[in-house]
Structure 1
Amino acid sequence: MIHVMLVDDHELIRIALAKVLGDSVGISVIAEAVDGEDALAKARALKPDVVLIDVDMPGMGGVEATRRLAALPHQPKVVAVSVHDQPPYPQRMMEAGAVGYLPKGGAAEEVVDAVRVVARGGAYIAPTIAGQLVMASIRQRADNPFEGLSAREMQVALMLVQGRALQEIADALSIGYKTVCTHRYRIFQKLGIDSDVKLIHLAYRYGVVDIHSP
């Protein structure tokens, strides 16, 4: 059983998340908190496996709360769920110790998937946000060929590197299968490669993905 704590100052958000997760097999919501201070106290007492936390809250904000939660002895996995899906919020939360980032208003299934993935020790970042994080990091290297990709092409490239099928990518990004194929073709053109294997090698070479990542 995966034990989850919800941290959000809006009751309706907590109710909605509790309903989605409570209806999922193998997941139990064991606590709810309204701010960072409340979350830390309950996390110390109840030791949740996963914490879903808002970024913008009164008092101790999500970034500082995440930093402190991630440093607890039992090391709960922290996933941000926020209306802020643009820089610098995702970067700050990941630097603070979050292992996931989801936009509010996303699919209910994605929340469940994220909880399961991080509970197993992985990381889960919504595709739209993942592309922004990678683009922000690689812009620091002028020689990086990935800098020439658009934000959408970067999203597709990341998912190809993860080994996801073209139809799966289309479904995740809510675009057509042929559109994904077009993006893949343009990615290969811009990077000067002709296969997914070469894309993976190039991604590791330029640090787009971490070779030690789960």
Structure 2
Amino acid sequence: MTRVLIVDDHILVRTGIERILADTDGIEVVGQAADGEEAIQKARELSPNIILMDVKMPGIGGIEATRKIIRNNTAIGIIGLTASGDETFVQRLLQAGAKGYLTKGASFEEVVRAIRHVASGQFYVDPTLTSGFIVRDPENNNPFSKLSDREMQVTMMLVTCQKVHEIADSLFVSPRTINTYRYRIFEKLSVRNDVELTHLAMRHKLVDVTD
């Protein structure tokens, strides 16, 4: 039996996925989590084989949660979920240790196929995504590819309207450290403030406008 943990900040998404998996042979949903911090805790408590991990969530987010979960238990297979198939997210998620990636537009059959593949030790990437994205092009036109993993994490927290002190609390650093990251991010991306950063993120589909 493959034990699955579902992580998403939208309860309707979590509930919907759990319902479609409920009658699937060989798959048992053992729990849900609403953010990255809870995912880390539930991964320890419930010992799932597979985690369906939303990438863009409040708090530390799916990429950092993936990194911490894999650091504690390399046997867990994490499959990233997001509304978009942006190459920046795919790359960073796989680099963090995930074994698969699906867009939220994937069919029920696709989700089950991904779970079975990853549970058997294979990698699985949504076939609708651009082939060959795993090999990063140094001339990538996406400006966010210039950022480090930590800078990308802070960026995503900023563009989802989290305050500097909230980000600092989540990452266990000082607000001054977060502001240092902010200005470094602004310089690398040639933006002047959080508003321009958010607009740039929207243009490159790092933010779901419909959220």
Counterparts of 1:1-214 in structure 2 under 5 Å?
1-73=1-73, 75-129=75-129, 131=131, 133-134=133-134, 137=136, 139=137
**Structure 2 unmatched ranges of 5 or more:** 140-211
**Kept in 2: contact 1:101–1:129 (CA 8 A):** no
| Partner Cα separation in structure 2 for residue 140 and residue 64 of structure 1 | 23
Q: Cα deviations across residues 103-127 of structure 1 (Å, max 9, x unaligned)?
A: 0021110000100110000011011
Number of equivalenced pairs: 139
Deviation at 1:73, TM superposition (A): 3.1
The one-letter code matched in structure 2 to 1:62 is G
Runs of 4+ in structure 1 deviating by more than 4 angstroms, as ranges, are none
| Partner Cα separation in structure 2 for residue 95 and residue 74 of structure 1 | 13
Q: Cα deviations across residues 107-155 of structure 1 (Å, max 9, x unaligned)?
A: 1100001001100000110112251514x53x459xxxxxxxxxxxxxx
**Kept in 2: contact 1:90–1:129 (CA 8 A):** no
Identity over aligned pairs, percent: 41
RMSD of aligned Cα (Å): 1.6
**Kept in 2: contact 1:48–1:76 (CA 8 A):** yes
Matched position secondary structure for 1:65: helix
Deviation at 1:70, TM superposition (A): 1.3
Superposition TM-score, scaled by structure 1 size? 0.62
From the CA coordinates, give the structure whose radius of gyration is larger.
1
Deviation at 1:92, TM superposition (A): 0.6
Deviation at 1:46, TM superposition (A): 1.0
CA change 1:14–1:115 in 2 (3 A) is same
Deviation at 1:60, TM superposition (A): 1.2
Q: What does residue 163 of structure 2 align with?
A: none
**Structure 1 unmatched ranges of 5 or more:** 142-214
Superposition TM-score, scaled by structure 2 size? 0.62
The one of the two structures with greater contact order (alpha-carbon pairs below 8 A, sep at least 6) is 2
The one-letter code matched in structure 2 to 1:53 is M
